[in-house]
């Protein structure tokens, strides 16, 4: 099926420097969609080995997601996505970002706890030809973080086209646990995205439905690889799962219904491993899990259909049903695993991981309320929505010249957040928070330090503000990127 309005991200003029290909002998363009492809592993840059001076180029290129079909794309020091950058607690890392595009961009260090002027949000614009050189102080514990474009109004298009990568923070406590740690072998980064392909070419969906529900696609990519297969050792393997989609939510489980162990949330390692059979990932969320492949049997990581779309009536409801049909009614394969060497030996999973400091709710000095609203022509559902199709928080679309909230540096606050018409992944820059629902302690699925959470019914966030935001503000927003681009974002300063 074809989307009605789109831009094709392909063309002869786009094929040039920075291209990489997923071509393997014996494949043809006609059968590429049915063929499995080896999982691409992003290059690893170890910041310490580089003297804590890392260079990234923001560039255009062409990517053969399917053999012989080159799609125009964007990437960091490559044609699609960027390298994984390993950084160390206690270091100061300079990352020089040179913009080789013909448009403005930014690079946001999603999940990194740093002062707001280094955060890479809409206020840290990099114009074409310029280089931005933030020196990032790394104080937080080991975690899987996410860097991506955050230029207001173009975040969705730039991230969709490929501007995203991983920051891997490590510390002594993590290394002492002897977790799987050989990058690309038993420690695998997996950036999960959905993209729209037509005749083997990646296209950029456009139109009102794209604004309302976010850009979605008919093909799941793992690290930019469609139909991906990972060869893994027949032992315990660590997966760093990152939802890099613009809008899609993934409900992940294995095809044989096996249990696996959740060991880290966005803020880092949990107190102890948690045995689960499924995990939900909203855009911007990350988890780390341990999976035992000792039985030597091939298995698939699957996702259930994503039904998170706006409540609508009439023609819009028909369009919504069209989109659900486009996405499919059955579960989809995210990544297949092919263990090497037949049955092996099971590794012991640690009983304890780290001692985590927690936010004390009795220390909360202020309570604030935030409603994420979707407006169309004066408001669709009678709630706190805006007019003219805008996306809003507390009835107001984003204004880069307006500071929405002021918080005291060092304070703890309770932010109550809810969403209208659909579930929204809510992200706050420069902080970590803990979750409560109905005033209760977090459930097992809500445990751990977070920076992004999926909300619809009200959820309470216990937020501690320990990063300065005087020279520039921090953002808070919906991480459905088209909602963010169209106004579902606010900003705060510290005083």
CA dist 428 and 280 (Å) reads 19
Q: In whole angstroms, what is the distance from residue 31 CA to residue 28 CA? A: 6
The CA distance from 28 to 41, in Å, is 23
- pLDDT value at residue 19: 34
- Indicate the domain borders of the chain: 361-494
Inter-residue contact 105 to 58 (CB < 8 Å): yes
| pLDDT for position 357 | 82
Give the predicted TM-score (pTM) of the model: 0.89
The sign of the dihedral angle between the CA atoms of 138, 140, 143, 148 is negative
Instruction: List beta partners, residue 60.
Output: 74
Cα angle, residue 121 at apex, residues 119 and 127 outer, rounded to 5° = 110
| 3-class secondary structure, 484 | helix
Query: Tokens 């990437």 label which residue?
Result: 75
State residue 239's pLDDT score. 99
Distance CA(440)–CA(455), nearest Å, equals: 16
DSSP conformation class of 326: H
List the helix and strand counts (H, then E) for the chain. Answer: 5, 36
Class of domain 361-494: mainly beta
Ordered per-residue pLDDT tens for the chain, 495 residues: 333 333 333 332 332 333 333 322 233 333 444 689 999 999 999 999 999 999 999 999 999 999 999 999 999 999 999 999 999 999 999 999 999 999 999 999 999 999 999 999 999 999 999 999 999 999 999 999 999 999 999 999 999 999 999 999 999 999 999 899 999 999 999 999 999 999 999 999 998 889 999 999 999 999 999 999 999 999 999 999 999 999 999 999 999 999 999 999 999 999 999 999 999 999 999 999 999 999 999 999 999 998 888 865 444 445 445 544 554 445 899 999 999 976 766 678 999 999 888 888 888 989 999 999 997 543 333 333 333 458 999 999 999 999 999 999 999 999 999 999 999 999 999 999 999 887 777 677 788 999 999 998 999 999 999 999 999 999 999 999 999 999 999 999 999
Q: Which two tokens stand for residue 313?
A: 């009536």
* N-terminal to C-terminal alpha carbon distance within the chain: 52
CA distance 387 to 397: 10
């Amino acid at each position: 099926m074809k989307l009605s309005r789109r831009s094709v991200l392909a063309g002869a003029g786009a094929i040039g420097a920075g291209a990489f290909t997923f071509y393997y002998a014996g494949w043809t363009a006609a059968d590429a969609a049915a063929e499995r492809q080896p999982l691409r592993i992003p290059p690893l840059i170890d910041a310490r080995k580089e003297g804590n001076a890392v260079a990234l180029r923001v560039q255009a290129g062409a990517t053969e997601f399917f053999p012989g079909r080159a799609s125009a794309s964007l990437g960091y020091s490559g044609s699609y996505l960027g390298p994984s950058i390993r950084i160390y607690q206690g270091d100061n890392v300079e990352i020089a970002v040179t913009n080789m595009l013909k448009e403005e961009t930014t690079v946001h260090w999603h999940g990194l706890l740093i002062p707001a002027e280094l955060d890479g949000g809409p206020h840290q614009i990099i114009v074409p030809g310029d280089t931005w050189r933030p020196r990032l102080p790394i104080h937080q514990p080991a975690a899987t973080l996410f860097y991506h474009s955050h230029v207001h109004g173009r975040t969705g298009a730039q991230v969709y086209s490929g501007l995203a990568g991983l920051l891997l923070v490590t510390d002594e406590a993590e290394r002492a646990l002897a977790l799987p740690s050989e990058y690309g072998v038993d420690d695998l980064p997996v950036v999960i995205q959905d993209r729209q392909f037509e005749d083997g070419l990646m296209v950029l969906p456009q139109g009102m439905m794209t604004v309302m529900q976010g850009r979605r696609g008919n093909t799941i990519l793992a690290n930019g690889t469609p139909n991906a297969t990972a060869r893994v050792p027949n032992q315990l393997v660590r997966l760093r799962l990152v939802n890099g989609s613009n809008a899609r939510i993934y409900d992940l489980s294995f095809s044989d219904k096996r249990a696996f162990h959740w060991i880290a949330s966005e803020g880092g390692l949990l107190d102890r491993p948690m045995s689960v059979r499924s995990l939900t990932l909203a855009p911007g969320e990350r988890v780390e899990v341990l999976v035992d492949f000792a039985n030597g049997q091939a298995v698939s990581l699957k996702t259930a259909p994503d039904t998170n779309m706006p409540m609508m009536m009439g023609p819009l409801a028909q369009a919504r049903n069209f989109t659900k049909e486009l996405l499919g009614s059955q579960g989809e394969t995210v990544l297949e695993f092919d263990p090497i060497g037949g049955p092996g030996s099971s590794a012991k999973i640690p009983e304890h991981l780290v001692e985590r400091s927690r936010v004390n709710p009795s220390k909360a000095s202020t309570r604030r309320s935030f409603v994420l609203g979707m407006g169309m022509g004066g408001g669709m559902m009678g709630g706190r929505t805006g007019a003219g199709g805008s996306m809003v928080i507390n009835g107001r679309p984003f204004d880069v010249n307006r500071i929405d909230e002021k918080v005291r540096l060092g304070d703890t606050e309770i932010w109550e957040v809810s969403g209208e018409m659909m579930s929204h992944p809510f992200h706050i820059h420069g902080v970590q928070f803990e979750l409560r629902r109905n005033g209760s302690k977090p459930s097992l699925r809500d445990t751990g330090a977070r920076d992004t959470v999926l909300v619809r019914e009200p959820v309470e966030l216990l937020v501690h503000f320990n990063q300065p935001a005087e020279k520039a503000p921090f953002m808070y927003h919906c991480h459905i990127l088209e909602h963010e681009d169209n106004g579902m974002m606010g900003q705060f300063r510290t005083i």
